[in-house]
């Protein structure tokens, strides 16, 4: 691998942050990205990674899944602390947030790579380590939801 | 403009908005800082929780005094709480205890029982991994996991909880690999035991008494007993037996069961394959408790996996996946698989209404200042119920977003005609339908129907997606308006016995004509 960790990060930071924003929403995106990148680059296997870009995408997705898993626990915990959770709206239309909320984290990942990164089904599958069949199914079901909510 | 292009454009626009809202990416040298900064800003809120939790810990330690007294080298100091002053706490919200089959008596229950603090009820004991879950009346969840797999890389389980800020801490009789301030988790490796013990306690600093007490209970002498739990948890033994009946004659099968339990999710899977490890063909059966938007998707990621059968039993979906081995031959015949499904179905027949379902009959538009708590109080529902009806509630709780409010509804019958099924085939999902409500399922020989209540631009309506039971393909969608109903429509029948005659309720109130779901109207868009 010719590039240093810093160079690899700089090269992909923007699309990874956008990816994170799609997976967990804009306000948690930066935090998610930081955790994922730090975890990925401090892992022993980082040095032998063949495709750092795919590896980082997967790391962010894994981190987002983790967040979704602990989401209910955090939900109850933070509700107890009685801190209002609704924050100032970011510059995202509510219908977009609504639509994204109806997708699973995995569906969001496939949609992002397809529509933002313009990857083919094959490339999306390689990036996420899925079968093409699974990728296609996720994309199709996501489009069904999005058609209802965005158009 | 072509509708496909239009959708693609909208999706790109949506992604652009989300990405823009996240702002510029941090520089590389800011990553660590960002990580720590966000931890500390959260820390303030967390402190409130910890303050409230301290008193609970003290109470818990009193309850554990018996355990601790017997082990002189075990510290009774709560590790995390030591530096936090005790202050009055807010009263935690009451949630209804999750309705679930009572835990079966087992040796692990006896081991766990003395370790469970006063006021906690053990909800579930089972595995693998061997897990005990207990709740108290305030909804505080205590979860203990023991992973008995000898080949677990020490620290592998800990990796999941790694917190570099806290680092490793030593404890008497065991090694505390990680203690994470956020989720307050700890993973222990136990001396002389090829296993790891994880204690997850979301709301209180760890009581070392609980952890070391459980570790002490896991002596080598006890381990053989614990091994028995692999076959003892509810349901899994039945599943294994059912799978065995079709595998014994044809294959020297190895069967592994897995089970994940919680008030919101319940997932059982059993895999069977030939004992010859060079043959990788495999049959897996998964029973998935399903609410919304989780059909056969996401079940199989293996490139060789094919879903060969699915079956709905109440709110369970049994999914049989066949993994083809190197010889490219399916592991089981269709007849065997059908026999398996037939045997498995009754096991789930009475597993209904055992927990919250993902449904709703009203929506709430979030306004600034709303909290999860205030919304739940406003609609007189519990946090559990609110969380059950809304996946990802916290992540996307912004003003303007609609969330589902679950509530009971009175069924109103709507009749239909099965002969209308043909027209269903060619329907197109109209753009004006919004699923604001319940999603239910129904099965026929060939298909699974996903039936959604909601609104179209005229008022209450039902949307039905038909999915091929074998392949998981979406085959068609149809929409039927509910005359005289302003909407949204709630599908009150659960599960739906007949997809052509769906019982619905029009909310908030309203009478309605009889609606033929399949033939009355199929809207199409151009």
Using one digit for the tens of pLDDT, what is the confidence trace for B280-334? 556 666 655 543 223 333 333 334 456 666 666 655 566 676 666 555 555 566 6
Mutate to test the interface with A, among B396, B470, B526 (most CBs of A within 10 A): B396
pLDDT at B468: 58
Q: Of A86, A116, A144, which has the smallest distance from its Cβ to B367's Cβ?
A: A86
- The answer to whether B352 and B397 are in contact (CB under 8 A) is no
Dihedral, B106, B112, B114, B115 alpha carbons, nearest 10? -170
Q: What are the two backbone dihedrals, phi and then psi, of residue B275, each rounded to the nearest 5 degrees?
A: -70, -25
Tokens of B363: 């929506």
CATH 3.10.350.10 location in chain B? 362-405
For residue range B139-165, list pLDDT tens digits in order: 344 455 554 443 333 333 333 333 333
Q: Please indicate whether, in this complex, the C-beta atoms of B19 and A89 are within 8 angstroms of each other.
A: no
Q: Please indicate whether, in this complex, the C-beta atoms of A85 and B372 are within 8 angstroms of each other.
A: yes
- The answer to whether B174 and B219 are in contact (CB under 8 A) is no
Q: Quick check: A90 pLDDT over 70?
A: no
pLDDT at A19: 92
Specify which of A75-84, B114-123, B195-204, B501-510 reaches the highest per-range mean pLDDT.
B501-510
pLDDT at B329: 57
- The answer to whether B197 and B175 are in contact (CB under 8 A) is no
Strand, coil or helix: what is B522? coil
Q: Please indicate whether, in this complex, the C-beta atoms of B26 and A18 are within 8 angstroms of each other.
A: no
- Confirm or reject contact between A113 and chain B (CB < 8 A): no
Min distance B421 CA to chain A CA atoms (Å) = 21
Residues 6+ apart with CB under 8 A from B126: B103, B104, B106, B108, B229, B232, B233, B234, B236, B259, B261
- The answer to whether B416 and B517 are in contact (CB under 8 A) is yes
Min distance B140 CA to chain A CA atoms (Å) = 9
Q: Of A81, A92, A132, which has the smallest distance from its Cβ to B49's Cβ?
A: A81
Lowest mean pLDDT among A140-144, B230-234, B464-468: B230-234
Specify which of A3-17, B179-193, B452-466 reaches the highest per-range mean pLDDT.
A3-17
Contacts of B401 in chain A (CB under 8 A): 94, 97-98, 101
Counting one residue from chain A and one from chain B, the pairs whose CB atoms sit within 8 A come to 249
Residue of B nearest to A117 (CA): B12
Contacts of A112 in chain B (CB under 8 A): 15
Q: Please indicate whether, in this complex, the C-beta atoms of B8 and A20 are within 8 angstroms of each other.
A: no
Min distance B92 CA to chain A CA atoms (Å) = 6
DSSP string, chain A: --S-HHHHHHHHHHHHHHHHHHHH-HHHHHHHHHHHHHHHHHSGGGGG-S-HHHHHHHHHHHHHHHHHHHHHHHHHHHHHTT--------SS-HHHHHHHHTS-HHHHHHHHHHHTS---HHHHHHHHT--HHHHHHHHHHHHHHHHHHH-
Q: Please indicate whether, in this complex, the C-beta atoms of B32 and A38 are within 8 angstroms of each other.
A: yes
Q: Quick check: B340 pLDDT over 80?
A: no
pLDDT band at residue A140, thresholds of 50, 70 and 90?
confident
Q: Quick check: B412 pLDDT over 80?
A: no
DSSP string, B436-448: -S-EEEEE-SSEE
Q: Please indicate whether, in this complex, the C-beta atoms of B15 and A38 are within 8 angstroms of each other.
A: no
Q: Of B21, B48, B401, which has the smallest distance from its Cβ to A101's Cβ?
A: B401
pLDDT at B38: 43
Q: Of A75, A82, A111, which has the smallest distance from its Cβ to B387's Cβ?
A: A75
pLDDT at B424: 29
Interface of A with B in 64-93 (CB under 8 A): 67-68, 70-93
Min distance B18 CA to chain A CA atoms (Å) = 6
B300 or B80, greater pLDDT? B300
Compute the distance between CA of residue B16 and CA of residue B78 in angstroms, rounded to an integer: 47
Residue of B nearest to A8 (CA): B28
Q: Quick check: A124 pLDDT over 60?
A: yes
For residue range B342-374, list pLDDT tens digits in order: 766 665 554 433 333 333 445 677 776 777 777
Q: Quick check: A29 pLDDT over 80?
A: yes
Look up the ipTM and state it. 0.83
Q: Quick check: B121 pLDDT over 60?
A: no
pLDDT band at residue B6, thresholds of 50, 70 and 90?
confident
- The answer to whether A124 and A135 are in contact (CB under 8 A) is yes
pLDDT at B55: 30
Q: Quick check: A35 pLDDT over 80?
A: yes
Contacts of B293 in chain A (CB under 8 A): 102, 104, 145
Q: B362-405 maps to which CATH number?
A: 3.10.350.10
Q: Average pLDDT of B444-468?
A: 69
Q: Quick check: A14 pLDDT over 80?
A: yes
Interface of A with B in 9-48 (CB under 8 A): 9-10, 13-14, 16-18, 20-22, 24-26, 28-31, 33-35, 37-39, 42
pLDDT band at residue A135, thresholds of 50, 70 and 90?
confident
Domains of chain A, start order = 1-89 (1.10.1740), 93-151 (1.10.10.10)
Strand, coil or helix: what is B312? strand
Contacts of B429 in chain A (CB under 8 A): 144, 147-148
Lowest mean pLDDT among B23-32, B251-260, B448-457: B251-260
> For chain B, what is the mean pLDDT?
50
Q: Please indicate whether, in this complex, the C-beta atoms of B474 and A144 are within 8 angstroms of each other.
A: yes
Contacts of B431 in chain A (CB under 8 A): 147-148, 151
Residue of B nearest to A118 (CA): B12
Compute the distance between CA of residue B285 and CA of residue B400 in angstroms, rounded to an integer: 41
B257 or B402, greater pLDDT? B402
pLDDT at B450: 67
Q: Of A71, A72, A79, which has the smallest distance from its Cβ to B371's Cβ?
A: A79
* Block residue for tokens 């929409």: B479
Q: Average pLDDT of B259-281?
A: 44
Specify which of B22-31, B130-139, B141-150 reaches the highest per-range mean pLDDT.
B22-31
Q: Average pLDDT of A44-48?
A: 74
Residue B65: CB atoms within 10 A of its CB come to 11
pLDDT band at residue A106, thresholds of 50, 70 and 90?
confident
Q: Average pLDDT of B458-462?
A: 75
pLDDT band at residue B466, thresholds of 50, 70 and 90?
low
End-to-end CA distance of chain B: 11
Lowest mean pLDDT among A8-12, A100-104, B193-197, B228-232: B228-232
Q: Quick check: B58 pLDDT over 50?
A: no
Min distance A51 CA to chain B CA atoms (Å) = 19
Q: Express as a percent the part of chain A with pLDDT over 70.
A: 80
B266 or B462, greater pLDDT? B462
Angle at which helices B3-21 and A5-24 cross, to 10°: 110
- Vertex B331 angle, CA B329 and B337, to 5°: 130
Considering only CA atoms, which of A3, A108, A121, A28 is closest in space to residue B42? Answer: A28
pLDDT at B483: 66
pLDDT band at residue B203, thresholds of 50, 70 and 90?
very low
> For chain A, what is the mean pLDDT?
75
Q: Of B19, B90, B369, which has the smallest distance from its Cβ to A18's Cβ?
A: B19
Residue A38: CB atoms within 10 A of its CB come to 17
pLDDT band at residue B44, thresholds of 50, 70 and 90?
very low
Contacts of B373 in chain A (CB under 8 A): 79-80, 82
Dihedral, A29, A31, A37, A42 alpha carbons, nearest 10? -160
Residues 6+ apart with CB under 8 A from B33: none
pLDDT at A36: 87
Q: Of A25, A82, A97, which has the smallest distance from its Cβ to B90's Cβ?
A: A82
Left, alpha or beta for A126 (phi > 0: left; psi -120 to 50: alpha)? alpha
A65 or B142, greater pLDDT? A65
């Amino acid at each position: 691998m010719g590039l240093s960790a810093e160079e690899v990060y700089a090269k992909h930071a923007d699309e990874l942050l956008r990816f994170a924003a799609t997976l967990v929403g804009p306000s948690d995106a930066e935090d998610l990205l930081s955790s994922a990148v730090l975890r990925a680059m401090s892992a022993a296997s980082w040095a032998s990674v063949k495709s750092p870009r795919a590896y980082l995408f997967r790391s962010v997705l894994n981190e987002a899944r983790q967040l979704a898993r602990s989401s209910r626990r955090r939900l109850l915990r933070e509700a107890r602390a009685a801190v209002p959770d609704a924050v100032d709206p970011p510059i995202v239309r509510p219908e977009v947030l609504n639509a994204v909320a109806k997708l699973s984290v995995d569906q969001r990942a496939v949609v992002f790579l397809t529509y933002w990164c313009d990857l083919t089904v094959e490339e999306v599958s390689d990036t996420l380590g899925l079968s093409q069949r699974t990728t296609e199914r996720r994309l199709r079901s996501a489009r069904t939801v999005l058609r209802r909510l965005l158009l | 403009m072509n509708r496909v292009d239009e959708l693609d454009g909208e999706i790109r626009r949506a992604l652009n908005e989300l990405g823009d809202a996240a702002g510029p990416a941090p520089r590389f040298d800011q990553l660590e800082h960002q990580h720590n900064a966000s931890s500390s800003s959260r820390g303030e809120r967390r402190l409130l929780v910890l303050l409230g939790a301290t008193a609970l810990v003290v109470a818990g330690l009193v309850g554990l005094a018996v355990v601790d007294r017997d082990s002189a080298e075990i510290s009774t100091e709560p590790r995390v709480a030591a530096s936090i002053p005790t202050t009055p706490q807010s009263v935690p919200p009451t949630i209804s205890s999750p309705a679930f089959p009572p835990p079966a008596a087992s040796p692990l229950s006896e081991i766990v029982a003395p370790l469970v603090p006063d006021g906690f009820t053990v909800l579930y004991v089972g595995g693998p991994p061997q897990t005990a879950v207990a709740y108290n009346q305030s909804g505080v969840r205590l979860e203990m996991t023991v992973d008995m797999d000898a080949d677990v890389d020490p620290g592998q389980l800990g990796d999941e909880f790694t917190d570099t800020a806290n680092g490793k801490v030593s404890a008497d009789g065991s090694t505390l690999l990680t203690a994470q301030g956020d989720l307050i988790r700890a993973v222990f490796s136990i001396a002389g035991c090829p296993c790891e013990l994880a204690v997850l306690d979301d709301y209180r600093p760890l009581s070392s008494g609980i952890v070391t007490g459980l570790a002490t209970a896991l002596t080598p002498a006890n381990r053989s007993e614990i091994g028995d739990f692999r076959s003892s948890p509810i349901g899994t033994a039945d599943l294994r037996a059912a799978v065995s009946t079709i595998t014994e004659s044809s294959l020297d099968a190895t069967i592994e069961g897995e089970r994940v339990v919680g008030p919101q999710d319940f997932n059982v899977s059993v895999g069977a394959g030939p004992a010859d490890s060079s043959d990788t063909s495999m049959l897996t059966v998964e029973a998935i408790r399903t609410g919304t938007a989780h059909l056969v998707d996401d079940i199989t990621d293996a490139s060789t996996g094919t879903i060969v059968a699915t079956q709905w039993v109440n709110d369970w979906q049994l999914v049989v996946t066949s993994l083809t081995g190197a010889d490219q031959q399916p592991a089981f015949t269709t007849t065997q698989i059908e026999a398996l499904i037939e045997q498995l179905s009754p096991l789930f027949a009475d597993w209904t209404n055992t927990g919250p379902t993902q449904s709703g009959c009203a929506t709430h538009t979030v306004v600034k200042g709303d909290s999860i708590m205030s919304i739940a109080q406003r609609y007189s529902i519990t946090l559990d119920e609110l969380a059950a009806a809304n996946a990802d509630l916290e992540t996307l709780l912004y003003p303007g977003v609609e969330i589902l409010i679950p509530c009971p509804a009175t069924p109103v019958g709507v009749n239909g005609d099965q002969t209308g099924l043909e027209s269903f085939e060619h329907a197109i999902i109209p753009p004006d339908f919004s699923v604001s409500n319940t999603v239910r399922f129904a099965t026929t020989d060939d298909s699974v129907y996903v039936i959604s209540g909601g609104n179209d631009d005229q008022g209450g309506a039902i949307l039905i997606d038909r999915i091929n039971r074998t392949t998981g393909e979406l085959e068609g969608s149809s929409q039927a308006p509910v005359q005289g109903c302003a909407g949204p429509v709630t599908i009150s029948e659960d599960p739906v016995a007949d997809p052509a005659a769906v019982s619905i309720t029009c909310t908030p109130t309203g009478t309605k004509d009889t609606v033929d779901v399949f033939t009355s109207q199929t809207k199409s868009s151009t």
